[in-house]
């Protein structure tokens, strides 16, 4: 474990719990945890921060996934197919990442997110009504796998921030899921992508395992609590958290753009 004060260790563990809660409800926990890693480990190589973050996140995401699976119906087969495509897409995105300037991507993503926020605000019923149970057609299945899995996976490898939130929105829009089931499905997809990334970081020796193990316990507690609260309070609650996360992401990207 790196040389870190007890106070900062406590702060990182609390941040891991909060990030797990946010990620379980609507995605985007990395928006909180990654900056805290940068603050608490200022001299640590970026690869080690990213690898440790993945090691922490996959535990909380797995816990949230199990909680959702016990309490709500999820098409696991569909989720795994989307997850495998997302894993492939993120690999391709990472390959192209070196040639893309984040300064170019940030304004585009901010505009997209503001459009998403406007849509959710103007359509109060978005993701709140459970569909009648009609089977998902081939066209929507292919769209979910290719566009949601491959497209958002590509974005995750290329840039990253807000991937979980985009997954929830994409699954809600394409598969007509309510926001609770979309969050549950997104968690399975997240486990797939996190596992692939963690395997690569572990192979490179870029994971601080002792720190990750401690923080993962708090992330697991936060993720389980977040999933239970989302299940108990329903899609209306998830919608409110979604809007908070979207506006927080826009603010973070705007700050990064301005300071950059």
| In-domain check, residue 1 | no
pLDDT band at 212 (very low <50, low <70, confident <90, very high): very high
Position 243 confidence tier, pLDDT thresholds 50, 70, 90: confident
pLDDT tens digit sequence for 30-85:
778 888 888 888 888 878 888 898 899 999 999 999 999 998 888 899 999 999 99
Q: Structure pTM?
A: 0.80
pLDDT at 211: 95
Q: Which residues form the domain of 159?
A: 6-259
In a domain, 227, yes or no: yes
pLDDT-above-90 percentage for the chain: 31
161: pLDDT strictly greater than 70? no
Is 50 contained in some domain?
Answer: yes
Task: Indicate whether 71 belongs to any domain.
Answer: yes
According to the model, what pLDDT value does residue 132 have?
46
Region of 133 please: left (phi>0), alpha (psi -120 to 50) or beta: left
Distance CA 62, CA 31 (A): 19
Written in H, E and C, the secondary structure of the chain is: CCCCCHHHHHHHHHHHHHHHHHHHHHCCCHHHHHHHHHHHCCCCCHHHHHHHHHHHHHHHHHHHHHHHHHHCCCCHHHHHHHHHHHHHHHHHHHHHHCCCCHHHHHHHHHHHHHHHHHHHHHCCCCCCCCCCCCCCCHHHHHHHHHHHHHHHHHHHHHCCCCHHHHHHHHHHHHHCCCHHHHHHHHHHHHHHHHHHHHHHHHHCCCCCHHHHHHHHHHHHHHHHHHHHHHHHHCHHHHHHHHHHHHHHHHHHHHHHHHHC
In the prediction, which pLDDT does 137 show? 78
- Is residue 48 in a domain? yes
Contacts of 131 (CB under 8 A, 6+ apart): 176, 177, 178
Burial classification of residue 138, based on how many CB atoms lie within 10 Å of its CB (0-12 exposed, 13-18 middle, 19 or more buried): exposed
Q: Are 254 and 111 in contact (CB under 8 A)?
A: no
Count of domains for the chain: 1
Q: 26, 242 in Cβ contact below 8 A? A: yes
Q: Please tell me the distance from the alpha carbon of residue 12 to that of residue 14, in angstroms, as a whole number.
A: 5
What is the arithmetic mean of pLDDT over 136-155? 88
15 lies in some domain = yes
61, part of any domain: yes
Predicted pLDDT at 173: 86
Burial label for 108, CB within 10 Å (0-12, 13-18, 19+), is exposed
pLDDT in tens, 75-109: 899 999 999 999 898 888 877 765 666 566 667 76
């Amino acid at each position: 474990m790196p040389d870190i004060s007890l106070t900062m260790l406590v702060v990182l563990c609390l941040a891991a719990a909060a990030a797990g809660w946010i990620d379980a409800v609507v995605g985007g926990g990395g928006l909180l945890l990654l900056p805290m890693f940068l603050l608490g480990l200022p001299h640590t190589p970026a690869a080690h921060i990213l690898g440790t973050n993945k090691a922490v996140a996959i535990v909380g995401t797995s816990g949230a996934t199990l909680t959702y699976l016990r309490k709500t119906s999820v098409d696991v087969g569909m989720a795994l197919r989307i997850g495998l495509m997302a894993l492939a897409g993120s690999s391709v995105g990472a390959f192209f990442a070196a040639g893309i300037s984040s300064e170019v991507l940030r304004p585009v993503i901010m505009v997209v997110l503001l459009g998403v926020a406007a849509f959710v605000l103007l359509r109060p019923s978005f993701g709140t009504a459970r569909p009648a149970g009609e089977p998902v057609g081939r066209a929507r299945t292919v769209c979910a796998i290719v566009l949601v899995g491959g497209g958002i996976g590509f974005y995750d490898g290329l840039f990253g921030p807000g991937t979980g939130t985009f997954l929830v929105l994409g699954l809600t829009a394409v598969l007509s899921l309510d926001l609770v089931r979309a969050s549950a499905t997104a968690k399975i997809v997240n486990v797939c992508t996190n596992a692939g990334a963690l395997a690569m970081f572990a192979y490179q020796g870029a994971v601080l395992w002792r720190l990750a193990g401690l923080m993962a316990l708090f992330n697991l507690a936060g993720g389980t609590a977040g999933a239970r609260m989302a299940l108990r309070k329903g899609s209306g609650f998830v919608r409110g958290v979604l809007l908070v996360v979207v506006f927080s992401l826009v603010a973070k990207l705007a700050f990064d753009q301005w300071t950059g």
